């Protein structure tokens, strides 16, 4: 009986080991595969294994099983017990791949790339296709998360021929998402392989302007590359572009308030919108018809959409009111595609909702980008007290720190009388004065000592009104910090032409809409001739109205082509994955009472 039990145990162990490893095919070594045993059984057998090599292979199999079961923590603990030097090259590739997958569960792409730099990876091409796909997939994910977009696309193109079914379709769409997000200057289709073909397609689409031109470019590319995977199976976003081109926009609803506290804002937006509409007519285009609706009279969004549908509306531009936009963002879907002229608080809304506005957060991120481009690393911040200042502070801080910048001081601006004290505190001038006083007391006589400020502040990020900024810059000068660069949002610029006010802000750099900086624009000149207020700070709203009109027929383009942009009057417009239109802005500086445009920096 005992002999039978021993024989049975030996047979079980042999079966278990066979389940844990594929058949040896080369000197690369046996690979673990999903076993019939549990994690605990595998670990138990590892402790009883006769050789270190078998023990390592069993533990590697247990770590992989834990990962597949969604227990990344346990998988990592087991993998740490597997000595890489006891594994053969193929097993090292397997372990490195698992290590990278675990790093990605912790959102650590650099750690994943380090794991995949193991010398054994030079043998990846000799491994079974299943392992090549697994390694290539996590490599592509890590490269993408690390910002190496082209390298990620190249990895996915490499594994594409090894995939089938749903996995192949997902990888196919992922390749287009990566290639389509590359800036035009990185699209260099100078090879005839599949990657060169992908880049040629993206370049053709991005170089075209209208939907019709893009469709023609796609058709031409397909005719020239009939055997390319993207020609055989056009990526879904490009299929949607084709559908958009076949359904031209013929009627738009403009939903804006005509009464109430937002009536003047609605009026400026409406006049800018219609100015762009009339310009399109004058250029010989066939623009869509515009139907006006008064959002200040609305009793129900459902009732509005029913009426708009009955009127044949294909796209809604508006509403402006934040509560209405918030209401739309919480719905599972909308009956008509809608470009709201404000932003909701949530990150994601229904697929039919797009959001566009003059967000101060965009400008805070623009300041962060510009300061980085100018080689700066350490920032001090001055924002107003209150909810608006908190939002701007949060947007700047997140972008600045995510890109390696540091914040050394923060002050919230309130009453002017406190400014001198706040700036002195920011630059630690009181400590300097105290040291000078202590020195005088020790010497028993007057010591000529000018207070010295801290030297680790490279620039100040300022979000403030023109009146606040007009007081802040002279105070900086008075507090021995006049040489510290100030980078501001557009809120410091009144566009009033007040030379005295501009003189008080001499040297301040600020981002601003092209509308207020490029006064020679023909449409702007026409609008200002009819509505002179469009030359002042209200001009930003006129610019937004113009851009809302120009965005209307191109929402599908921005969604289908990540990283594509529209040069608008309110900024260079792009779209996030959550269908929010975001702006990048040009820069100017106050110089001797004048506004001087600054050269653009690389993005």
Pick from 328, 327, 383: which is nearest to 360 by CA?
383
Pick from 238, 91, 89: which is nearest to 79 by CA?
91
Average of pLDDT values for 482-496?
A: 92
Average of pLDDT values for 206-226?
A: 86
Pairing of strands 353-355, 406-413: unpaired
Pick from 362, 398, 364: which is nearest to 382 by CA?
364
Burial string for 351-378 (b: 16+ CB within 10 Å, else e) reads ebbbbbbbbbbbbbbbbbbbbbeeebeb
Domains of the chain plus CATH, in order, are: 2-147 (1.25.40.10), 361-512+589-597 (3.40.50.2300)
pLDDT, residue 6, reads 39
Task: Convert the pLDDT of each residue in 418-462 to its tens digit.
Answer: 666 776 676 665 554 444 444 445 444 554 444 555 568 999 999
pLDDT, residue 243, reads 77
Q: From residue 104, how far is each of 98, 139, 157, 419 by CA, in Å? A: 10, 10, 21, 47
Task: Convert the pLDDT of each residue in 587-600 to its tens digit.
Answer: 999 999 999 999 88
pLDDT, residue 472, reads 86
More confident site: 412 or 447: 412
**8 A C-beta contact, residue 116 and residue 135:** yes
Show Cβ contacts of residue 468 under 8 Å, excluding neighbours closer than 6 positions: 384, 413, 416
More confident site: 512 or 435: 512
Average of pLDDT values for 462-486?
A: 84
Q: How many CB atoms within 10 Å of residue 592?
A: 10
Burial string for 52-77 (b: 16+ CB within 10 Å, else e) reads eebbbbbbbbbbbbbbeeeebebbbe
pLDDT, residue 168, reads 95
pLDDT, residue 185, reads 76
pLDDT, residue 34, reads 63
Cβ-in-10-Å burial (0-12, 13-18, 19+) of 261 comes to exposed
Pick from 60, 49, 46, 48: which is nearest to 90 by CA?
60
Average of pLDDT values for 206-219?
A: 82
SS3 content of the chain, % helix, strand, coil (to 5): 55, 10, 30
Task: Convert the pLDDT of each residue in 81-105 to its tens digit.
Answer: 999 888 899 999 999 999 999 999 9
CA-derived radius of gyration, the chain: 31
E strand or H helix that includes residue 39? helix 39-48
Percentage of the chain lying above the pLDDT 90 cut: 63
E strand or H helix that includes residue 443? helix 429-443
In 414-474 the beta strands, taken as DSSP E runs, fall at 459-462
Task: Convert the pLDDT of each residue in 345-360 to its tens digit.
Answer: 876 789 999 999 999 9
Q: How confident is the model at residue 415 (pLDDT cuts 50, 70, 90)?
A: low
Pick from 602, 528, 538, 599: which is nearest to 570 by CA?
538
Task: Convert the pLDDT of each residue in 145-180 to its tens digit.
Answer: 988 999 999 999 999 999 999 999 999 999 998 998
Q: How many CB atoms within 10 Å of residue 450?
A: 8
Average of pLDDT values for 21-41?
A: 69
Task: Convert the pLDDT of each residue in 278-320 to its tens digit.
Answer: 998 998 888 899 999 999 999 999 999 999 999 999 999 999 9
Q: Phi then psi for 384, rounded to 5 degrees?
A: -70, 155
147: left (phi over 0), alpha (psi -120 to 50) or beta: left
pLDDT, residue 17, reads 40
Gap between the Cα atoms of 503 and 500, Å rounded: 5
Q: From residue 160, how far is each of 139, 143, 154, 174, 218 by CA, in Å? A: 14, 17, 10, 11, 22
Q: How confident is the model at residue 7 (pLDDT cuts 50, 70, 90)?
A: very low
Query: pTM of the predicted model, to two decimals?
Result: 0.69
More confident site: 503 or 601: 503
Beginning with the edge strand found earlier in the chain, give each strand of the sheet holding 566-567 in spatial order: 566-567, 572-575, 581-584
pLDDT, residue 442, reads 45
pLDDT, residue 169, reads 94
Gap between the Cα atoms of 323 and 342, Å rounded: 10
What is the chain's length? Answer: 603
Task: Convert the pLDDT of each residue in 105-144 to its tens digit.
Answer: 998 999 999 999 999 999 999 999 999 999 999 999 999 9
Q: In whole numbers, what is the pLDDT of the chain averaged over residues?
A: 86
pLDDT, residue 563, reads 67
More confident site: 337 or 603: 337
């Amino acid at each position: 009986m005992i002999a039978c039990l021993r024989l049975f145990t030996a047979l079980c162990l042999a079966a278990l080991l066979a389940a844990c490893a594929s058949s040896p095919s080369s000197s690369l070594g046996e690979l673990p595969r999903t076993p019939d045993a549990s994690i605990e059984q595998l670990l138990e057998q590892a402790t009883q294994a006769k050789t270190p090599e078998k023990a390592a292979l069993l533990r590697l199999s247990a770590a992989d099983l834990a990962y597949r079961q969604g227990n990344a923590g346990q998988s990592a603990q087991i993998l740490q017990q597997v000595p890489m030097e006891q594994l053969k090259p193929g097993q090292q590739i397997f372990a490195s791949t698992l290590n990278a997958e675990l790093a990605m569960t912790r959102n650590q792409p650099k750690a994943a790339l380090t794991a995949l730099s193991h010398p054994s990876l030079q043998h990846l091409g000799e491994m079974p296709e299943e392992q090549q796909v697994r390694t290539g997939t996590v490599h592509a994910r890590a490269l993408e998360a690390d910002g190496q977009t082209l390298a990620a696309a190249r990895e996915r193109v490499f594994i594409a021929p090894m995939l089938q079914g749903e996995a192949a379709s997902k990888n196919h769409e992922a390749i287009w998402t990566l290639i389509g997000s590359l800036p035009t200057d990185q699209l260099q289709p100078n090879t005839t392989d599949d990657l060169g073909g992908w880049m040629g397609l993206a370049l053709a689409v991005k170089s075209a302007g209208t939907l019709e031109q893009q469709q023609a470019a796609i058709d031409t590319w397909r005719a020239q590359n009939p055997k390319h995977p993207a020609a055989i199976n056009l990526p879904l976003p490009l299929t949607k572009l084709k559908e958009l081109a076949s359904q031209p926009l013929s009627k738009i609803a403009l939903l804006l308030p005509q009464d109430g506290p937002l009536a003047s804002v609605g009026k400026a937006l409406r006049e800018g919108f219609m100015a762009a509409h009339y310009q399109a007519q004058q250029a010989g285009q066939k623009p869509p018809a515009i139907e006006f609706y008064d959002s200040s009279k609305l009793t129900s969004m459902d009732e509005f959409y029913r009426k708009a549908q009955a009127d044949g509306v294909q796209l809604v531009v508006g509403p402006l009111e934040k509560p209405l936009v918030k209401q739309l963002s919480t719905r599972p879907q909308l009956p008509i595609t809608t470009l709201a002229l404000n932003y909701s608080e949530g990150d994601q809304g229904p697929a039919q909702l797009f959001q566009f506005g003059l967000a101060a957060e965009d400008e805070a991120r623009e300041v962060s980008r510009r300061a980085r481009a100018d080689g700066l690393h350490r920032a001090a911040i001055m924002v107003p007290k209150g909810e608006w200042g908190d939002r701007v502070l949060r947007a700047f801080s997140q972008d600045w720190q995510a890109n390696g910048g540091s914040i050394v001081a923060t002050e919230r601006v309130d009453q002017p009388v406190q400014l001198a004290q706040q700036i002195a505190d920011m630059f630690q001038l009181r400590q300097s004065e105290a040291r000078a006083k202590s020195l005088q007391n020790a010497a028993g006589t007057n010591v000529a000592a000018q207070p010295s400020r801290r030297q680790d502040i490279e620039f100040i990020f300022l979000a403030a009104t023109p009146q606040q900024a007009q007081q802040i810059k002279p105070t900086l000068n008075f507090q021995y910090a006049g040489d510290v660069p100030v980078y501001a949002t557009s809120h410091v610029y009144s566009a009033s032409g007040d030379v005295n006010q501009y003189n008080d802000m001499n040297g301040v750099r600020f981002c601003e809409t092209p509308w207020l900086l490029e006064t020679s624009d023909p449409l702007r000149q026409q609008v200002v001739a009819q509505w002179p207020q469009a030359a002042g700070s209200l001009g930003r709203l006129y610019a937004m109205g113009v851009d809302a009109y120009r965005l209307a027929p191109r929402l599908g383009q921005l969604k289908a082509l990540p990283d594509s942009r529209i040069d608008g009057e309110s900024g260079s417009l792009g779209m996030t994955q959550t269908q929010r239109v975001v702006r990048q802005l040009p820069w100017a500086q106050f110089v001797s009472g004048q506004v001087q445009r600054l050269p653009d920096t690389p993005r």
